[in-house]
């Protein structure tokens, strides 16, 4: 009997880490980052397009993001999308260039962002644990169907638990780094 393929569980756990990385990139820390504007959707040409598909996002200064809109007629729509994004940003258009100054964060807002980061982290932990549960259930079914032995089941479940522990540790490290970044004045 061959061992079941554990790479699928590894890939799914890595996916949870990647999702957390993207969510953290969208958390504003008072420092400009192009990834802050990437998830914004603009109503353009009768459909909804991600901001990077209607203009170029640049970070010329630590507290400023610029968006060079490719089509002049889209400037107002991009400006409105940024304003309505819920990020608390106030864009200013100058022709086809939109300047987005990043305001300084106060202590209360920093604590709010830390709580949001903790919530994202918990979601990632739950996702990793769900993958582990799927893996363990699959192993139980294989053992019940006599496709793997009890020893194989034990060895494979230890491997899955090890993957889970490693991913949870990475998630916790990512949270620690993000919290330091958020609280840094």
Is 151:143 a contact under the CB 8 Å cutoff?
A: no
Q: Which residue has the tokens 């990834």?
A: 35
Neighbours of 178 (CB within 10 A): 24
Supply the pTM of this predicted model. Answer: 0.66
Q: What is the pLDDT of residue 84?
A: 86
Q: Residue 22's pLDDT is what? A: 84
Across the chain, mean pLDDT equals 87
Q: Which domains does the chain have, with CATH numbers?
A: 7-24+106-183 (1.10.132.20), 31-101 (3.30.1360.40)
Report H helices in the chain. Answer: 7-25, 75-83, 107-144, 150-183
pLDDT digits (tens, 9 = 90+) for 155-182: 999 999 999 999 999 999 999 998 888 8
Exposed / middle / buried, residue 1 (Cβ in 10 Å: 0-12, 13-18, 19+): exposed
Q: Using CA atoms, how far apart are residues 78 and 55, in angstroms rounded to an integer?
A: 9
pLDDT for the residue numbered 1:
39
Low-confidence ranges of the chain (pLDDT < 50): 1-2
Q: Which pLDDT does position 12 carry in this prediction?
A: 93
Residue 89 and residue 26: Cα distance in Å, rounded?
A: 13
Phi/psi at 101 (nearest 5 deg)? -70, 140
Q: What is the pLDDT of residue 29?
A: 65
């Amino acid at each position: 009997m061959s061992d079941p393929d554990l790479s699928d569980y590894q890939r799914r756990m890595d996916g949870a880490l990647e999702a957390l990385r993207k969510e953290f990139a969208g958390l504003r820390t008072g420092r400009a980052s192009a990834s802050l504007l990437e998830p914004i959707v603009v109503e353009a040409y009768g459909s909804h397009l991600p901001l990077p598909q209607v203009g170029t996002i640049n970070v010329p200064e630590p507290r400023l993001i610029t968006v060079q809109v490719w089509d002049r007629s889209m400037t107002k729509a991009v400006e409105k999308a940024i304003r309505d994004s819920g990020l608390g940003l106030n864009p200013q258009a100058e022709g086809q260039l939109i300047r987005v100054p990043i305001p300084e964060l106060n202590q209360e807002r920093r604590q709010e962002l830390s709580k949001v980061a903790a919530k994202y982290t918990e979601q990632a932990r739950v996702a990793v644990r769900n993958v582990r549960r799927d893996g363990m259930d699959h192993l139980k079914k294989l053992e019940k169907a006599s496709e793997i032995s009890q020893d194989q089941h034990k060895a494979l479940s230890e491997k899955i638990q090890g993957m889970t522990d490693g991913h949870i540790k990475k998630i916790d490290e990512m949270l620690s780094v993000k919290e330091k970044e958020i609280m840094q004045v």
